[in-house]
Structure 1
Amino acid sequence: MDLLQDLTVRCADLLGVSAASVLLISDHKGGVAAGVTGTVEASDERTREIELAAFLRGESPSRDSCLSGTAVPHIDLHGAEAAARWPWFAQEARAAGFVAECVVPLRQEPSGGEQAVGSEWGVGAPVVGALGLFGGGGEGPLSEEQLACAQMFADLAAAAVARQRSLERSIVECGQLQAALTSRIAIEQAKGMLAERWQCSVDEAFGALRKHARHRRVRLGDFARQVVAGEIDTTEIRQR
């Protein structure tokens, strides 16, 4: 989020706009209607509050850009279309001194470099958010070159978001693999311990171990750790 906040400040400076914001949608397989959440960073706190509240209300250009996967350029916040399409947002943005906005999507490049078609967020590359650029009246409409530069910033931000989410998933997966390995080690230790103690085969020991864990309604790995730690009366297991 620090990177995205810094991005909005730099975009505002380099593109000569009054303020900039980034809406980042959650990594969710459903759409907005399915409960996807969003977080917002901006070049100033007032802009951040307006963008976040508008997203939560379901009426903001940034949200619409996420849904369509396309830019929403040259929005006249004093115009009839903005008032009809985003009434609360347009009113609050005008009250903050803005007269225009332009939004470009944060497009994440699909894995393998192939373009995803028909995604939840529109045809084209998956969208993870949107970059909004606010004009205060003295800047004039953004040129095609400025829009292209804004899209470049948005794509770089999307790439950073994708890398961060991939790292977070890897950390979770590593934790799950470590837990599974630890559980398997405990099960093997318990099997060997019971087979030696009872003078039976490892398969028979495992069958008794599994049966007793099910009877107690505990995970096999947790039950095996209790057996190895001497917390379980193995005579009781044998009798069952």
Structure 2
Amino acid sequence: MSPVAREKRILETLVTLADTLVDDFDVASLFDDLVQRCTTVIDAADVGIVLGDSHGELMMMAASSPRLLSAEEIQLSKNSGPCIDAIHSGQVIRAGSLDEIAQRWPAFATVMRGSGYHSLHTVPLRLRSTVLGAMNFFRDSDGELGNSDAQVAHAIADIAAIGLMQERSVRESAIARKQLEHALASRIVVEQAKGIVSNSYDVTMEVAWALLRQRARSHQARVTDVARGVINGAIKI
């Protein structure tokens, strides 16, 4: 690829990532496309992405080829490897030879050798103090990633982290909104049931509320479920 074509491809990749900051997107599809793009603009044979979920469990999110799978899976199963170190430390991890890799992560080095890889460069997906995962760049030759390629890899990882944080924020906001809507709907149901009990037994709303709670406790049910039963006539207080 010519330098001009490479620069164009880099810009296209960055623009695609930037679009995630202002629009809805599917994380899996985005990262599947991203790892493929990275192999065309960065001196790496394969690229993989590992992410952590809300409980801290790590999972492989994208891989540029099946050849990469065993190298990523051994890290997750052994909880040892450059990806794990990058996520835990928040720092870039470099290893320019199989000998260096073997000294640091023996089991991982065995899989690397079997897969034909010789060196690697791992960049944390990090936004300030929050590490969301890591991008792993696997190379078929010895030597660390060049400065130009490393800068591109870091820029892509930084924007990907921002996009991922944006997606999680939107998703969490949607969950919070649904929870609020559910709480408001439950409150309306309870108020309607209180009104029915108050009118049926000629008692105050406070007494009606106490009767609903008493019924719920005695039957080990939720007040909202008792209220719905009162409204549809299935429950008599």
TM-score normalised according to structure 1 size: 0.82
TM-superposed deviation, 1:52: 2.5
1:189 maps onto 2:192 in alignment? yes
Distance in 2 (CA, whole Å) between partners of 1:98 and 1:26 is: 28
Distance in 2 between residues matched to 1:39 and 1:178, nearest whole Å = 34
1:11 aligns with 2:15: no
Residue 83 of structure 2: which of 47, 58, 62 is its match? 62
**Residues 92-111 of structure 1 mapped to structure 2, 5 A cutoff:** 92-109=111-128
Moved more, 223-232 or 175-184: 175-184
For residues 31-65 of structure 1, the C-alpha deviation after alignment (integer angstroms, 9 at most, x for no partner) is xxxxx232331111220332123222111101110
> Does 2:98 match 1:78?
yes
> Structure 2: how far apart are the matches of 1:202 and 1:83?
73
Aligned residues: 210
Code of the residue aligned with 1:132 in structure 2: it is N
Q: Deviations over 1:150-201 (max 9, x none)?
A: 1111111111211221122122212211211111111000010111111111
Is the 1:65–1:103 contact (alpha carbons within 8 Å) kept by the matching residues of 2? yes
Tell me how far apart the structure 2 counterparts of residues 61 and 13 of structure 1 sit (CA, whole Å): 22
Residue in 2 aligned with 1:90?
A: 109
Aligned-pair CA distance for 1:11:
1.1
Separation in structure 2 between the aligned mates of residue 136 and residue 146 of structure 1, nearest angstrom: 15
Residues in 1 aligned to 2:116 and 2:74: alpha-carbon distance in whole angstroms:
17
Q: TM-score, normalised by structure 2?
A: 0.83
Which one-letter code corresponds to 1:78 in the other structure? L
Contact 2:51 2:59 in 1 (8 A): yes
1:38 pairs with 2:65: no
Unaligned runs of 5+ in 2: 1-27
Answering whether residue 231 of structure 2 is matched by residue 228 of structure 1, we say yes
Q: Which structure 1 segments of 5+ residues have no match?
A: 31-35, 110-124
Runs of 4 or more consecutive aligned structure 1 residues displaced over 6 Å after TM superposition = none
Determine helix, strand or coil for the equivalent of 1:102. Answer: strand
Greater helix share, 1 or 2? 2
**One-letter identity of the residue aligned with 1:156:** I
Q: Deviations over 1:203-225 (max 9, x none)?
A: 11111111111111111111101
Instruction: Provide the C-alpha distance between the structure 1 equivalents of 2:52 and 2:60, rounded to a whole number of angstroms.
Output: 6
1:135 equivalenced with 2:162 (yes/no): no
Identity of aligned residues (%): 32
Report the residue type matching 2:226 in the other structure.
Answer: F
In structure 1, what is the equivalent of residue 20 of structure 2?
A: none
Tell me by how many angstroms 1:12 deviates.
1.2
1:77 Cα deviation from its structure 2 partner: 4.1
Amino acid at match of 1:56: S
SS where residue 141 of structure 1 aligns? coil
The two structures, once aligned, show a CA RMSD in angstroms of 1.6
